Amino acid sequence: MSKQQDKYAALSPFELKDALIQLASSKSGRLMLNAGRGNPNFLATLPRRAFWRLGLFATAEAELSYSYLPHDIGGLPRIEGIEARFDEFLSENHEQPGIAFLARAVSYVRDQLGLSASQFLHEMVEGILGANYPEPPRMQRISEQITREYIVKEMVGGQVSAQDVELFAVEGGTAAMTYLFNSLRNNGLVEVGDKVAIGSPIFTPYIEIPQLEDFQLDTVMVHASPKNRWQYPDSELEKLLDPAVKIFFCVNPSNPASVKIDKQGLAKLADIVRQRPDLIILTDDVYGTFANDFKSLFATCPQNTILVYSFSKYFGATGWRLGVIALHRNNILEQKLATLPASEKKRLNKRYQSLTPDVSALRFLDRVVADSRSVALNHTAGLSTPQQIQMVLFALFSLMDSDNGYKSSVTKIIRRRQAVLYRELGIVQPDNEESVDYYTLLDLEEISRSLYGSAFATWVKSTIDSTQFLFKIAEDTGIVMLPGSGFGTLKPAGRISLANLNEYEYATIGKALKKLLEEYFVIFTKKGKHKPSISSSKVNKRDRSKIDSY
């Protein structure tokens, strides 16, 4: 590896990717394929159409207040008669896309969820106009009721009642994690030097957050095993029995292995929680909606689990910044706050005294809301109301999709892409019933073994630096992958997103990676290590400069 490239070895994968993109784009006339991005290139269109149609109705509602003025001025919408006016709007626009969805949404909210249609419409109309602060700041009332039904359906599978779930609407999963770690620290629930166990592999920033100067937490890695379908061995999970471990932090299904915790793993974690009732579990379940019969740790350990969910990947909405923090009403965080030392309670009384005369009754999730605006600005906290309305429409889109047609479609998209990638790479596609296949990890050693045998795989492992390999792929093929090591994997691997390119592009990636390994195999055989086991017609005879000097 060159000195120029060596300086990137310690970077986060998301910083390294910029250097790889620059190298991959350096040759004119060649297509650069960025397979490192997790941003999907598919999105849900119907709830978006509904959003814009609802916006037109909301604007007309606002104009009713000042209809005597000719200067495009509107006022706050009125709840009186809103259902009748909405029915008239539906009738006048019945042929427009999105209108039928809105009609069904009102019916579903009224008839299936038992909520007031007038109150629902008024909140949606006022919210989409963005004319008021979010009220309550944590999440608008009806928006929370609908969204928690979605969370219970997709994440919990009915094992927890929606009535027992509290939500805080936030600007995506990353904002959720920022807010949570700050509030855990601010409230004395984690302190400098405490241990946090991290389920690996995991989204790289989640490895980095606990180590920041703000927190200075000691990390204990809990490694999933690639030999065991990326499940956590019991021996790894038993690290959580250490009473010094305050938090277990994981992504489920994992990033980048894209595998959900199986029933055995969930049962083991539930057993650990029975032995460690003080253990806090923090789980990011953004990829859970791509799985069939997904069960969050929130379902098996509800009192101990903080659930973070983002709408970004499943609905193709990364730019919307939509997410929630979910807590069970009866959670251990409240218990921990109640048993803090008197000196800590005194400090916290001073911190939150501007919000309530009884700080001891202030729930943890409401403290997270306040902390998100440095407490003093609590009244302006919360996700913008138009964002909450789009979130609600996404949630209703899923709740009303009784045959899971959308889920079936998006999962078929990514699995077709995976199939063509592995077909062109020339190896057998991994078979894992717990996998959601949003990403795939290409293990350089295992691919080399599958293509050319164990001797070549051993040579690759001992000769080729994983970061060097990513730079060579970028330079020679124009393909950008992210290093698996940056996500906590123990073996060199490249992370490829199956969500952001088209099928023919994944075929191109498979062919290019196979060709590059053929060239490595030529070098291997010319060094006298092994006789070629493939026909000369399949090998690129042009011997590049030695790998060691690259």
516-535 pLDDT per residue, tens: 899 989 999 887 655 444 33
How confident is the model at residue 494, as a pLDDT? Answer: 82
Both 236 and 344 in one domain: the answer is yes
Residues near 301 by beta carbon (within 8 Å), at least 6 away in sequence: 269, 270, 273, 281
Both 375 and 251 in one domain: the answer is yes
Domain count, the chain: 3
Block mean pLDDT (10 aa), the chain, length 550: 51 70 78 86 98 97 83 90 97 96 98 98 98 96 98 90 96 94 96 95 87 91 92 97 97 93 97 98 97 94 98 97 97 97 97 96 97 95 97 98 95 96 91 90 89 92 80 86 70 84 93 90 77 36 33
Kindly report the CA angle at 333 between 328 and 337, in degrees rounded to 5? 140
Question: Domain end: 400, 427, 445, which one?
Answer: 400
Both 309 and 251 in one domain: the answer is yes
Total-model pTM: 0.91
Both 250 and 395 in one domain: the answer is yes
The CATH code of the domain that includes 431 is 3.90.1150.10
Q: What is the rounded CA–CA span in Å between residue 534 and residue 538?
A: 7
Both 239 and 341 in one domain: the answer is yes
Both 109 and 248 in one domain: the answer is no
Kindly report the CA angle at 388 between 383 and 391, in degrees rounded to 5? 125
How confident is the model at residue 489, as a pLDDT? Answer: 67
How confident is the model at residue 53, as a pLDDT? Answer: 98
How confident is the model at residue 474, as a pLDDT? Answer: 87
Question: Domain end: 400, 435, 470, which one?
Answer: 400
> What whole-number percentage of the chain has pLDDT above 90?
71
Residue 426 is assigned to a structural domain of this protein: yes
Q: Please, where are the H alpha helices in 187-259?
A: 204-208, 234-237
- The mean pLDDT of the chain is 89
How confident is the model at residue 108, as a pLDDT? Answer: 98
The residue among 547, 543, 506, 491 whose CA lies nearest residue 419 is 506
Both 359 and 411 in one domain: the answer is no
Structural domain containing residue 86: 45-123
Interval 330-362: pLDDT, tens? 999 999 999 999 999 999 999 999 999 999 999
How confident is the model at residue 158, as a pLDDT? Answer: 75
* Residue in the structure block whose two tokens are 């690996």: 200
Q: What is the rounded CA–CA span in Å between residue 474 and residue 425?
A: 17
Interval 11-43: pLDDT, tens? 566 667 778 888 888 776 777 888 888 899 999
How confident is the model at residue 550, as a pLDDT? Answer: 30
Residue 316 three-state SS? coil
Residue 546 is assigned to a structural domain of this protein: no
Both 431 and 502 in one domain: the answer is yes
